[in-house]
Structure formats: C-alpha cells, structure tokens
Amino acid sequence: MKDPKKTNEKLDQLESHSTSNDQEMLTTNQGLKINNNQDSLKAGDRGATLLEDFILREKITHFDHERIPERVVHARGSGAHGVFKLTKSLAEYTKAKFLTEVGKETPVFVRFSTVAGNRGSTDLARDVRGFAVKFYTEEGNYDLVANNIPVFFIQDAIKFPDLVHAVKPEPHNEIPQAQSAHDTFWDFISLMPESMHMIMWLMSDRAIPRSFSRMEGFGVHSFKFINEEGKVHFVKFHFKPKLGVHSVAWDEAQRISGVDPDFHKRDLWESIENGMFPEWDFGVQLIPEEDEDKFDFDLLDPTKIVPEEEVPVQLVGTLTLNKNPENFFAETEQIAFHPGHIVPGIDFSNDPLLQGRLFSYTDTQLIRLGGPNFHEIPINRSIKTVHNNQRDGYMRQQIAKGKVSYEPNSIGGGCPFQAMMSEGGFTSHQERVSGTKVRQRSESFVDHYSQAKLFYNSQSEPEKMHLQNALIFELSKVTMPEIRERMVGQLAFIDRALAFKVAENLGVEVKELEFPNQSLPADSNHV
Ligand code: HEM
C-alpha cells in the first residue's frame, strides 16, 4: 500500500470548483432557503397544485434535464486521476516539455471504456477498450486517446460510421445490446479484408481483460516527434501494465457479467480506494523520418503494428492512477478527449484514420457537451490560463475584461497578443506534400493478412483454441449462411486449419473469395 498523493496542480484547480453540501441548509438555485422539501404548494389540502410553485418547478425542471447524450462510441467509461512521471528524457527526439525533464510529474486523468455498448452495458463484453489519457502539461493539454489493441478495424476514417453502424445494435430491433455476434457486424467484416488483423485481436483473449490495470494501451497511429533542431521521428505510444497482461476466458466473462456487470469499474475504484494504485510503464517506439519506407508495410496504415523485435519499445515513464473522481458526471462523463490536443514537439502523421479523427471529436463534443464552451468545464480546463479572442456562446463562464476581442488592433483594451516565434508556441512541422488529388487507397496499404497471420501464429495452443472457439461462437449467431461462408473464406487467408475447423462447426464450406488481400473496389457496395 502506498500513500495517496494528496494533490497536484490539476486537483487544486478542481478543488476551487468544488462544493460540499455537508451541514448546509437546502436552498433553491437562487440561494433562497427551503423550509419544506416534502410538499408542493396547493390550493387547499387536497390540491390542485399551483403553477406558482417555483420551488417545485425549479426542482422538476432541473431533474428533467439531467441527462446528456452518451458518447456515440465509448459510452461506458470509468475514470481516475493520476500522475505521469518521466524516468528517461526524450529531449533527443521531442521538445515536448513533459517528456524532456527526468523526474517531472504531470497530472493526468484517464478514462477507460468499452466501445460498442451503451452506458449501462456490462464491463465484460468482448470488445475493444478505450484507454484515453489527458496530460495536463505546462504547455497545454495533451491527449493520448488510445485503445487496448494496437491496430484498428479500418484504414480510412470514411469507413468509421459504417463500422459503428455495423457493430452497434441493429436499428430495427436494438438487438444485440452486447458485442455478441450478429448479422450486420459480420456482414461488414466479411467484406472488409483490412479488418482481419484487428479481428484476430478481437477474437483473442485480449478483448476480455481481467481488469483495466492488467491491460496494455496503444496510441495505434504513428505520430511524429519533433526535437529542438526540427528533426523528426515517427513514434508509436505504448502503456505496459506493471501487473502484466491478464484476461478472463469467455465462460468466466459470461458469468461475471451476470453477477457483476460493473466488475472492471469496481476493481478500479476499490484498488485506488485501498491504495493499490494501478501503474503502467509508458514506452515509445521511435523510427527516424528517413526510415519511413524501410518496412514491408506502410507506417501510416493503422491496421499494422511495428514489430517490437524490429523496433524495441523504450520505457521512459510511469503512469500511476492514485485518486478516484469526486463526481462521476463532472469528471468521467464531462471529460472531452481529442487526438488533436497536442503540444509543441508532437505532431500528426498522415494516417488517413487519424486525419479523420481530428475532425470527429470536437464535432461530437459540441453536441454532447452543449456548445462551444466545454473547454471551460473544470475537468477539461488546461492548468494554464486560456487567453484568446473567442467569446460568447452557450454557457460561457469566463468574464473577459476589456472592449477589444479581435486582433490585430491598435486599441489594446485587454486583447491578448500573438507570441513571437522565438517565444515558443506551436508550429506545425513543415513537410513537403505534393500529388494528384485522388479518392483512393494507397497500394502500400494492400497487404491485409501477413500481420493477421503473425498474430495468430504468436498465440499459444490454449490461446489459439480460445480464438477458434470465439469465432465459432460468434459466427454461430449469424443467421445468413453466405456471411458465415465469406468469413471462413477470409480466415482461410490467415490459417487454413483454423478456417476448416470453424467452417466444420458452422456447417459451411471454405470457398475461394474473389477479393483476397485487397480493399473492395470503390464501385462494389454490395456482393
Ligand atoms: C471516443 C470517433 C477511431 C479511441 C470517440 C468518440 C468519437 C470517436 C466520436 C466520442 C467522443 C466523445 O463523445 O467525447 C472516432 C473516429 C475514429 C475513431 C471517427 C476513426 C476514424 C479511434 C481509434 C482509437 C479511438 C483508432 C484508438 C486509438 C477512442 C477512445 C474514445 C473515443 C479511447 C473514448 C474517449 C473517452 O473516454 O471519452 N471516438 N474514433 N478512436 N475514441 Fe475514437
């Protein structure tokens, strides 16, 4: 057991927004004392209730508006505060200050989630887990919006709404709620060879973690590090749990779901309450810009990993979660992560999935959190005071003084000014880009099976058996034989014995597919 870290700069900031109702008298939202919270105002003993009863009206109106939309994906979440401590300087590769000074501690908030289920769904679903980390750095918020699986289903953001529509409960009957197999998901997957590497991970034990503190986290995309001299390295981010990676088997997951659907949420909460703080090593894989083309896959392809044998993960820091939120809604629910929240020294790659994500998060949060001022919600505030000329909008909290809110201006009047280049600030990495404007997939993204095979072959015999049984179980829920057939056709490109075993159990044949190892042509929207 370790001593809980009492506070940090972010927790102090949150404290200034906190209230306690302990020993306080009940009031309305206008501060008026309430001396009867049991009865509404009536005309006579037996009513009717009077419209005049502003205390009743206020209480019920607020209650009526308690719900906000759940996240369109990753709706079910659990979060905690913590600290990131740097153990090895990355100054050679990046100028991001929280990654250069050994021993530096940066406050963080982490939110774990499942992807497909709604807010009330079970923690134990076979699903990807979100692992989103907000670093409250002295240079502004940096969000590493990661998952517990190192690759993704699709290569291009334009397929994301299709993927999510396929995996979510079917629109006509809202079945299935859980991630159990169904026609729409497997129909889509069977037509998307690029998803096969991810499917191998998803059908493996990795997709049912034992706890949040026993799962890995991956940034998935290649990002860029830029150092003081402007030198670029591609970087892949990793979190490795100090407790090791542990999963539960499918039948255990089924039973736990029935008895305690909050199993992971409870474990995280209780571990922290009991001072057994979940910890991860933070690691990076670094690839010099000039080595971008030395791999047999494209570094920009999010369905590929960079093998750790080729580029070892260097451990450079520790992430520790040491404080539960005071209020689930205010913190875990209202937090807004965004892969576009970066700091100097970190930049995006041209991964077409990442590029689409950069649009999606603010867009959805504008509606989920009710307008353009959600950066002012306490959990989202940077520990640095924000200064700019943005103003007004629903729910504005900040009272900006002065009469000028534009720039340039000659009046002054409270207007913030732009930093000189020499004074720091964010500069996008300069990169030469040229080419013809095209709507197509790069040829370098075309190999969909090599890494799926590598992953399958890396599994031990019991793990292979779990994966095989998962496919049989999930595909047995698919009602349309042609979808089952297409799926075993896909599996045959990964491992023929696996495909035949699954096919035998499903009562279908393994047939040659027409679209091996390539994305579907743009003009084939159905088979
Ligand atoms: C949440 C979009 C791919 C990790 C979300 C949300 C959206 C979204 C709209 C809800 C955000 C909110 O309401 O605050 C997309 C799109 C993707 C994509 C369009 C692909 C084009 C990915 C990938 C990862 C990822 C590849 C992992 C590397 C997450 C996580 C959350 C999330 C962890 C939950 C954040 C939280 O806890 O609040 N995504 N996503 N997403 N996404 Fe993505």
Are 160 and 356 in contact by the 8 Å Cβ rule? The answer is: yes
131 CA closest ligand 1 atom index: 33
Q: Under DSSP, is residue 320 helix (H, G, I), strand (E, B) or coil?
A: strand
Q: Is the CB of 107 under 6 A from ligand 1?
A: no
Among 281, 280, 282, 285, which Cα is nearest to 225's?
285
Q: What is the mean pLDDT of residues 257-279?
A: 98
Structure confidence at residue 420 (pLDDT): 84
Q: What is the mean pLDDT of residues 51-56?
A: 98
Q: Which one of the listed residues 74, 81, 341, 448 is annotated catalytic? A: 74
Q: What is the mean pLDDT of residues 111-116?
A: 97
Q: Which one of the listed residues 8, 141, 147, 373 is annotated catalytic? A: 147
Q: Is the CB of 154 under 6 A from ligand 1?
A: no
356 CA closest ligand 1 atom index: 21
Among 167, 75, 163, which Cα is nearest to 121's?
75
The residue contributing the CA closest to ligand 1 atom 12 is 71
Structure confidence at residue 98 (pLDDT): 98
Which regions of 304-401 does DSSP assign to beta strands (E)?
A: 314-323, 346-347
Q: Under DSSP, is residue 105 helix (H, G, I), strand (E, B) or coil?
A: strand
In sequence order, what are the residues at sequence separation of 6 or more whose Cβ sits closer than 8 angstroms to the Cβ of residue 339? Answer: 143, 145, 221, 348, 354, 357, 358, 361
Specify whether 74 is catalytic: yes
Task: Name the phi and psi angles at 316, rounded to 5.
Answer: -130, 0
Q: Is the CB of 133 under 6 A from ligand 1?
A: no
Q: Is the CB of 113 under 6 A from ligand 1?
A: yes
- Give 80 or 181, the one with higher predicted confidence: 80
Summarize pLDDT for 321-342 with one digit per residue, the tens: 999 999 999 999 999 999 999 9
Confidence check: pLDDT of 517 > 80: no
Q: What is the mean pLDDT of residues 453-461?
A: 97
147 CA closest ligand 1 atom index: 27
DSSP 167-221: HSPPTTT---SSS---HHHHHHHHT-GGGHHHHHHHHSGGGSBS-GGGS-EE--S
* Adjacent-strand bridge partners of 143: 134
Q: Is the CB of 502 under 6 A from ligand 1?
A: no
- Among 357, 368, 374, 380, the mutation site with the greatest number of ligand 1 atoms within 8 A of its Cβ is 357
Confidence check: pLDDT of 139 > 70: yes
Average pLDDT for the chain: 94
Specify whether 221 is catalytic: no
Q: Write down the pTM of the prediction.
A: 0.95
CA 517 to chain centre: 29
* Adjacent-strand bridge partners of 78: 112
- Give 411 or 82, the one with higher predicted confidence: 82
